[in-house]
Amino acid sequence: MTQPVPIPPAEPTGEELRQALRKAVKMRAHLRDRGQTRFEIEVTDLSLSGFRAETSFTLWPGTVVWLTLPGLAALEAVVAWRDKFKYGCAFAKPLHPAVFEHIVALSQR
């Protein structure tokens, strides 16, 4: 009699993995584009690889920006998508987990 072959659990998809690492935050920050225009944004969620924000300033997908959060050096990112006043941006380099946790803790103050 043959033994049944165990089926390994499914690997999480990119979407599931991203959801697990995303944290809702609410904090004011500044964004600057290559043209040196600096404006205020509201960061609404954060992951190791990027963030979502809201602003009335117009940005276009593909735009390189620098995010400045209170007490941290500017973080380079690129606008990945836009939906009216909401934007998704991907960091040029993923955040270190300790930096990610520090930012999340700052947002809860």
Q: What is the CATH number of the domain that holds 81?
A: 2.40.10.220
Q: Is 8 part of a structural domain of the chain?
A: no
Q: State the total domains in the chain.
A: 1
Q: How many CB atoms lie within 10 A of CB 55?
A: 16
Model confidence band, residue 109 (pLDDT cutoffs 50, 70, 90): confident
Q: Is 68 part of a structural domain of the chain?
A: yes
Q: What is the pTM of this model?
A: 0.79
Tens-place pLDDT, residues 18-52: 444 789 999 999 999 888 789 999 999 999 999 99
Plot region of 105 (φ>0 → left; ψ -120 to 50 → alpha; else → beta): alpha
